[in-house]
Amino acid sequence: MYSLLRNAEIRRQLAANARSLLTGQALSLLPALAVTQLFFHWKSFLLEFGGFLVVWFVLDMVVTAVRGLVAKPAPAKIETRRD
């Protein structure tokens, strides 16, 4: 972790993408935190953290699928030959 953060190129890339990463994941991250806090009381940090990661993954998968369904792709152009 230390060597990754000390690498200037990685820090620049993280700084450049921080806003889009945060806004892209906020829709699934915040509900995952809420679900974890409300429902996961397993008395083990590793189990609760693993559960949080699974919930975050599933919620992000659902959000991505819904975004894909809502965003309508542009209609494909059909080229016709005129001979």
- Over residues 26-38, the pLDDT tens digits come to 889 999 999 999 9
Percent of the chain with pLDDT strictly greater than 90? 42
Supply the mean pLDDT for the chain: 85
Query: Which DSSP letter does residue 55 get?
Result: H
Count of the separate structural domains present in the chain:
1
Name the 3-class secondary structure at 74.
coil
CA 80 to CA 83: how far, in whole Å?
10
Task: Say if residue 6's pLDDT is above 70.
Answer: yes
Assess if residue 27 is contained within a domain: yes
Task: Say if residue 78's pLDDT is above 80.
Answer: no
Label residue 75 by pLDDT band (50, 70, 90): low
Q: What is residue 48's predicted lDDT score, i.e. its pLDDT?
A: 95
Assess if residue 36 is contained within a domain: yes
Range of the domain at 14: 2-69
CA 51 to CA 35: how far, in whole Å?
10
Closest to 37 in 3D by CA, of 50, 53, 48, 26: 48
pTM of the model: 0.69
CA 68 to CA 56: how far, in whole Å?
18
